[in-house]
Structure 1
Amino acid sequence: MDEFEAQNPGIKVELISGPYASTKEQVIAGAVAGTMPDVVGLDGAWVSDFVKQSSIANLSELMAQAGYDDSELASQIQLNGSTYMIPVVNFVYPVFVNLDLMEKAGVAAPPTTRTEFAEAATKMTDAENNVYGWVLPLSMEQPNGIQNDVMSWVWASGGSMMKDGQPDLTNEDVRSAMEYIKGLYDAGVIAPGSFSMKEQDKVEEFTNGRVGMMVDSLAHINLIRERNPDLNFAITALPAVDGYTGKRGLPYASWGIGISATSEHQAEAWKLVQFLMSAETNSKLSSIANAFPGNVNSTPDFVQTDELFGAAFEVFKTGYLANEFVGLPVAEELMRLFDEQFQLYLDGSQSLDDALNNAQTAWMENFQ
């Protein structure tokens, strides 16, 4: 903040920080009372409610007033065509591959297409020794597997689960991805226990060498290294539909930033946002957070010194950030509603048409 204040005489910044849980409580309380700070850290899951409450400002309007070129932003969280949150740093979810299991199975290289992934998962699976090609967490208690491990297959091939701001779960992109996962499930290449498995269970299975591949956050790289220093693994992009040549969507979570709708200093607040999103400052922030930048022209220091993060950064630069749950109303509940129907499809209790139609109907009740 000292650097920002030096560049902007007359603007003073009072920094208020705290752990995630207390920050969320403070921001929500401030939104209700109209005492939200001028510039506020945001989780994408809060955006929809804050926009409905008219608590956060329309950043598209502020960017236009400032003549800001938003082409350098890696992503923007929008509702009704307007931006309300800008991700400052991003924690992406590529594919982790156990290289020793891959070599043992005779797989020449990490898979890049769905066909190659299915073949690799089949070769890596050794059920007698409790080793499986892929791991899929679908716990309804913690349903983010639908976001990170299921819909990610849709986004990796440029697809979408939405249309004109409304759910579109019966489209061919979603159908294709669900059929593909069902094929892996029926083939027995997914680690047992998916329906009760959580993200931390998935990471444990991979860390202990019982799973060949998983979709996971880069935030877990150092945790995996600490728990199993001998694990030989690599990072690659999520495979796409065979023949797809476009950019691949990359699931992500982010720390974002917004501006209070009741702030009396919105122009000054925007100057701080612009400073944080500049290429130089954003490089520093992403390096500190061990995350990827919100500015497409920024490069964190660690990608030059860490081979795995460097590989992941290449995946990041050649794809695009994709998480359509960010900004949706009751996002976690939407995941849970889809999860319920998807599990019934996987275990053969209902058809794909019924699963998608039921999920579509349940979602639409939250978009009225």
Structure 2
Amino acid sequence: MTRAGLRHSKALTITGAAAAAAALLLVTGCSGGGGGAASGDAGGDVTIEFAQWWEPELPDGQFQGLIDSFEKENPGITVKLVSGPYASTEEQLFAGAASGTMPDVVGLDGAWVSDFASQGVIANLTDLMKDAGYDDSQLASQIAVDGSTYMIPVVNFVYPMFTNDDLLAKAGVSAPPSTRTEFADAAKKIKALGGDVSGWVLPLSLEAPNGVQNDVMSWVWASGGTMLDDGKPDLTNDDVTSAADYIQGLWNDGVIAPGSFTMKEQDKVEEFTNGRVGMMIDSLAHINLIRESNPDLKFSISAIPAEDGYTGERGIPYASWGIGVAENSEHKDAAFKLVQYLMSKDVNSELSTMAKAFPGNTESTPDFSDSDPLFKTAFDIYKAGVPANEFTGLPTAEDLMRQLGEQLQSDLGGQQSMDDALKKAQTSWLAAF
């Protein structure tokens, strides 16, 4: 499939392992919608809960402002935001899935969808859209399981490389590295500055294992590689082996920040924000947090370095702020009205602008005029590459990350070789397929 084809796909169907193709769903434009003012279920006043990690990653008050506007347009519906960091939201939702107590509306990561759908804990959005008479042609993409939609990507983020400009300059590195050799050289020079400064940060927490997706496999995708073969696990191929060996080399050189085995995504961002690491792979969503937490920090973003000599399109890791409705919700109509509102043309444009993300509505357009200049840089990186996230829609995707993370920890900890780590992970992954 061409980059244009990937970018403009209207619906992505996830059926078992072949669902990895659904990872490539970002769009450059984005489309129409309708918030639709209406009262609560059956005309009565209702309160719905919306659990997500979005509000803390946006400037103070902005997301609540959108919710306030929704409530004004929909008298009778009150929205209670349940906000927390990504890892905390994930833990809450999986606990709620087990106990049947999910909030009415849920922020979703594409890696969770297959599990939640198979458990029957998130509602069939295809049915809700049909019941509401909703025109889904405005949606840039949908995440489906067995032909039915369970998640709608609201906004989409690329995961470029962030570099601390001051640390690079002090280390004598004139520009962000573009190849693996340049990256390793820059990491060594930053580490040589001394103190508590490290070249790169690698979160490998097993509690929140998305570092395997964002910080490990991103090296594979950046050079056009894959971890799958015909939709099935292929962790011992040359693409994955090369990236894993490269990370092993960075570890052996001592340029990776300490604490990797317990570090989560928010810890990684904190290390970078506080100036303790020179480089990290991270979501555009965290630009706001970094700016607010350390206004004096000078940093840049660039494409993730590729293998030396690679000239093809670079895979760009991405993640979505997806949205779904809980199956246990007693107010599905009201919950879906909130989904409609967030996907409407003007609101989705506003949300993507404040989040520094790409819209989920094909008619929405982020406003570049007052945006952080890095947003435009990210858009250029995105247009020059191809979105890549092979974990989206895989069965037990979180568990797959954790299984590989366990083996990587064992290797980096000196208990086994990288070859053995990848072979063991390959065996455990096959069992899930």
Structure 1 residues 90 and 134: CA distance shift in structure 2, 3 A: same
Equivalence for 1:49: 115
Pick the aligned partner of 2:401 from 309, 313, 335: 335
The number of aligned residues is: 356
Q: Is the 8 A contact 1:97 1:214 kept in 2?
A: yes
Greater shift, 13-22 or 101-110, is seen at 13-22
Q: Is the 8 A contact 2:204 2:264 kept in 1?
A: yes
Equivalence for 1:183: 249
Pick the aligned partner of 1:240 from 274, 281, 306: 306
CA RMSD for the aligned pairs?
A: 4.1
The unaligned stretches of length 5 or more in structure 1 are 7-11
Q: Is the 8 A contact 2:33 2:344 kept in 1?
A: no
Equivalence for 2:152: 86
The answer to whether residue 237 in structure 2 is matched with residue 171 in structure 1 is: yes
The answer to whether residue 348 in structure 2 is matched with residue 282 in structure 1 is: yes
The answer to whether residue 282 in structure 2 is matched with residue 251 in structure 1 is: no
CA distance in structure 1 between the aligned counterparts of 2:143 and 2:387, rounded to whole angstroms: 11
Which one-letter code corresponds to 1:147 in the other structure?
A: Q
Equivalence for 1:9: none
Structure 1 residues 334 and 289: CA distance shift in structure 2, 3 A: same
Tell me the secondary structure at the aligned position of residue 36 of structure 2: helix
TM-score (normalised: structure 1): 0.77
CA offsets 1:75-126 (integer angstroms, 9 cap, x no match)? 5435468764331112432211011111222222112222221222222222
Tell me the secondary structure at the aligned position of residue 194 of structure 2: helix
Q: Is the 8 A contact 1:42 1:258 kept in 2?
A: no
Q: Is the 8 A contact 1:44 1:256 kept in 2?
A: no
The answer to whether residue 190 in structure 2 is matched with residue 124 in structure 1 is: yes
Structure 1 residues 313 and 297: CA distance shift in structure 2, 3 A: farther
CA offsets 1:14-48 (integer angstroms, 9 cap, x no match)? 68564255994899599x79x998x9764424421
CA offsets 1:277-298 (integer angstroms, 9 cap, x no match)? 5765532331254433124664
Q: Is the 8 A contact 1:59 1:85 kept in 2?
A: no
CA offsets 1:62-86 (integer angstroms, 9 cap, x no match)? 99x999768x82x543546876433
Which one-letter code corresponds to 1:196 in the other structure?
A: T
Tell me the secondary structure at the aligned position of residue 244 of structure 1: coil
Within 5 A, what are the aligned runs for 1:104-183? 104-126=170-192, 128-183=194-249
CA shift, 1:338, in A, is 0.8
Greater shift, 218-227 or 269-278, is seen at 269-278
CA offsets 1:123-177 (integer angstroms, 9 cap, x no match)? 2222632322111122223322112211111222232223343322222221111
CA shift, 1:247, in A, is 4.0
Equivalence for 1:5: 36
Which one-letter code corresponds to 1:294 in the other structure?
A: G
CA distance in structure 2 between the aligned counterparts of 1:273 and 1:233, rounded to whole angstroms: 34
CA shift, 1:314, in A, is 2.5
TM-score (normalised: structure 2): 0.67
Structure 1 residues 113 and 258: CA distance shift in structure 2, 3 A: farther
Equivalence for 1:202: 268
CA distance in structure 1 between the aligned counterparts of 2:93 and 2:302, rounded to whole angstroms: 33
The answer to whether residue 347 in structure 2 is matched with residue 316 in structure 1 is: no
CA distance in structure 2 between the aligned counterparts of 1:255 and 1:101, rounded to whole angstroms: 35
Which one-letter code corresponds to 1:19 in the other structure?
A: V
Structure 1 residues 271 and 69: CA distance shift in structure 2, 3 A: farther
CA shift, 1:237, in A, is 1.8
CA shift, 1:358, in A, is 0.5
Structure 1 residues 184 and 46: CA distance shift in structure 2, 3 A: closer
CA offsets 1:258-281 (integer angstroms, 9 cap, x no match)? 798xxxx99xx9999788657655
